[in-house]
């Protein structure tokens, strides 16, 4: 295993309802943070997992950074902004249905790519950079371009770039901007980890094979398509590989299914596993995560000994 993994994106404060009327529990979540959490749980301690983001200088930002550190996630590349704070979302339950309200429009994380030198410094000792379509969506246009530019340079130096398109049209000014930016990101990535349902809806792909071909043409050597309870498809250096997901007795909460799959897949690949074995590990972890309430849990899924 070489270098560490740098996950780039936004961690938010999560307020989740407790049984009591008007009571909420405070936690932390966000797609790239969820993946960092599971990467840390799976990989040996000697392999650094770091988070690249920006937070405020207030008490809640301090608590978030403490949370990351206690989770074993490196915080050396968390930037501080005195004029901003962290984003927040609130989960509401109405007869068992969850709905989400967000306050993240001015979050500090939107400035994470303001300084290219900081990106270069964070990537310097890393083997892999991991980011998502949500990371891109929260950035201003110049920040987005800067991030992709620095990732391309990192890749040219031998770094590995891994991208989950995580299509969230509500975070974008319009869907054309979203699909254009996602394809630009795929063009600087070695590995793309999309979800079939989203890709079919926003790119009009007829099936997972169409998604795989589109990202392979953009330049990704490895594309793995998640597919809810359906079979997953990988296209790896021209080879097609199909793997069934792991059966889940009871789907409790699908939050972080894709994020945890990505972490399982990436951890296994980093440890030298073959594509199909890495897909199985990702699916095993995702199945465990969706059998439990909430995004973050301590899984029993582990890498096999000796990679
Ligand atoms: P996302 O959460 O990004 O939308 P998916 O819904 O495709 O992604 O789920 C990611 C992975 O989680 C799937 O590829 C699969 O391994 C697992 N998964 C999701 N839903 C189920 C399910 N109902 N049964 C079994 N596995 C599932």
For residue 2, what pLDDT band results from cuts at 50, 70 and 90? low
Structural domain boundaries in the chain: 4-291
β-bridge partners, 55: 80
Residue 216: CB partners within 8 Å, gap ≥ 6? 223, 235, 238
The ipTM assigned to this model is 0.98
For residue 117, what pLDDT band results from cuts at 50, 70 and 90? very high
Regarding the beta carbon of 228 and ligand 1, being less than 6 Å apart is answered yes
pLDDT digit string, tens, across residues 123-177? 998 999 999 999 999 999 999 999 999 999 999 999 999 999 999 999 999 999 9
For residue 20, what pLDDT band results from cuts at 50, 70 and 90? confident
pTM confidence score? 0.97
Regarding the beta carbon of 258 and ligand 1, being less than 6 Å apart is answered yes
| Residue 195, phi-psi category: left (phi > 0), alpha (psi -120 to 50), beta (remainder) | beta
* Strands (DSSP E) found in the chain: 4-8, 12-17, 24-29, 49-55, 78-80, 88-94, 97-103, 126-132, 160-164, 191-192, 222-225, 232-236, 239-243
Q: What is the DSSP letter of 284?
A: H
**Which residue puts its alpha carbon closest to atom 15 of ligand 1?**
228
Q: What is the pLDDT of residue 1?
A: 43
Superfamily for domain range 4-291:
Ribokinase (3.40.1190.20)
pLDDT digit string, tens, across residues 201-215? 999 999 999 999 999
pLDDT digit string, tens, across residues 73-99? 999 999 999 999 999 999 988 877 789
Known active-site residue 239: no
């Amino acid at each position: 295993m070489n270098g560490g993994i740098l996950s780039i994106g936004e961690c938010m404060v999560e307020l989740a309802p407790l049984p009591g009327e008007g009571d909420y529990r405070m936690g932390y979540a966000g797609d790239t943070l969820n993946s960092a959490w599971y990467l840390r749980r799976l990989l040996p301690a000697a392999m650094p997992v770091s988070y690249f983001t920006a937070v405020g200088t207030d008490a809640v930002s301090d608590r978030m950074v403490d949370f990351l550190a206690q989770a074993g996630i490196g915080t050396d590349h968390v930037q501080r902004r005195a004029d901003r704070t962290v984003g927040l979302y609130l989960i509401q339950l109405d007869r068992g249905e969850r709905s989400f309200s967000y306050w993240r429009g001015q979050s500090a994380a939107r400035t994470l790519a303001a300084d290219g030198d900081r990106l270069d410094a964070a990537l310097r000792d890393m083997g892999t950079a991991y980011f998502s379509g949500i990371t891109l969506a929260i950035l201003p246009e110049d920040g987005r371009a800067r991030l992709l530019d620095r990732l391309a340079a990192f890749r040219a130096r031998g770094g590995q770039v891994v991208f989950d398109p995580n299509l969230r049209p509500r975070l974008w000014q319009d869907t054309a901007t979203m699909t254009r930016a996602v394809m630009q990101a795929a063009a600087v990535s070695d590995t793309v980890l999309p979800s079939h349902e989203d890709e079919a809806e926003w790119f009009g792909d007829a099936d997972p094979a169409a998604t795989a071909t589109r990202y392979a043409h953009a330049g990704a050597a490895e594309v793995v398509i998640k597919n809810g309870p359906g079979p997953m498809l990988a296209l790896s250096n021209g080879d097609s590989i199909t793997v069934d997901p792991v059966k889940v007795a009871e789907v409790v909460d699908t939050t972080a299914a894709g994020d945890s799959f990505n972490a399982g897949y990436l951890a296994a690949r980093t440890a030298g596993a073959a594509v199909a074995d890495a897909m199985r590990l990702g699916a095993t972890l995702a199945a465990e995560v969706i059998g439990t309430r909430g995004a973050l849990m301590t899984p029993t899924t582990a890498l096999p000994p000796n990679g």
